[in-house]
Structure 1
Amino acid sequence: MDEEEDLETYGEQLYALIYPKHKENAGKLTGMLLELPCPVLSQILLDEAMLNTAVDKAFRALQLTRETSKITSKDEDDVSTSSDSLGEQLFELVDVYNTGHSQKITGMLLEQHQEAVLHLLSDRKLLEEQVNSALKTLQEQKEEETDISDSSDVDDSDRLGEKLFSLVEQLDPLHANDITGMLLEIEPASLQQLLKDHTMLEEAVQRAQSALDT
């Protein structure tokens, strides 16, 4: 309930600040900005420059949404929107959310079919859902990278060795120690690939077995 009351208060304050310059669109622009996190809204209300930037972004996004709605309402033959143009329009809309990852999220969303991207440009609710989903994916990737890189190289080697040994042991219990030692001499990046790709690992183990037999 507190958050709803906060949003209502923010909404009233934002509307009062936006109305003098954007009388016709004050309501829509206020609604767009209210989709931002509360801490960001609080900062925007205290910083006039930040407010102006956010309003400008929202206004450009609103214009793009209207233009795109006109495009999507035409026959498909008339829609000759290039990938670059779509990317620019999508970036403007994504940038409104101040995620700090506008470029990456735009790239992720552009991997969809052109029709799906056009739909995103005209449907703000759907866009917001996909932006949040993409942001969550990026955060999860970052956490995984942190998990891998937050310890020392020695710890990394130990963990890789343990993981590799458990996999090699399933393929060749008798020579697991020797084969693991040989594979650990490979570049870390290639080693990571082996751990992810079972077929590659099997081939590497077979090569190591051949080397042991000679």
Structure 2
Amino acid sequence: MLLELPVSVVSQMLCDEALLNKALKRALTVLTSSDNSEPVSHTDDAASVSSDSLGEQLFDLIDLYNTGHTQKITGMLLEQKKEAVLQLLSDHSLLEEQVKIALKTLQEQGDEATDVSDSSDRDEVESIGETLFSIVYQLDPTHCADITGMLLEMDSGTLKQILSDRSMLEVAVQRAKSALVL
């Protein structure tokens, strides 16, 4: 499973023991969870795969690239149609290409300074993401991963302001929901 990843990612994992351990744990989780259920066919059962599940799978794969923009790139790629996301999950070379394009776009926009996922305090970022996800889940459990990913593209100051004002958060969730391509 790990050898199906792009060479650059495998090389990074071989040089970084923590990254390798993280990838091994994820692979073992996938393998042990798939032992208990029938494999999902991407072509036959594509409609039944939830958006949250796709988002989690995509996040895990993108995180292996160690770009520092995992949340943002996941949100960007989840804006595509479900069929395109399924193709990204099954074709690692296509995923690598899309990650490179997204990363280049982020760098051209100069978002490094405002990207929440790049802040020096990873615990704060994780806390904001978890808090945001739990609130968005209450408002829209079906699309909470997609909406959370989209909202995490905002700068940290705006996110903190939205989290402190429930009505602003509800408006932001509605806007993100209307922007979703389902």
- What TM-score, normalized to structure 2? 0.49
- Structure (1 or 2) with the larger CA radius of gyration: 1
Higher helix share: 1
- What TM-score, normalized to structure 1? 0.42
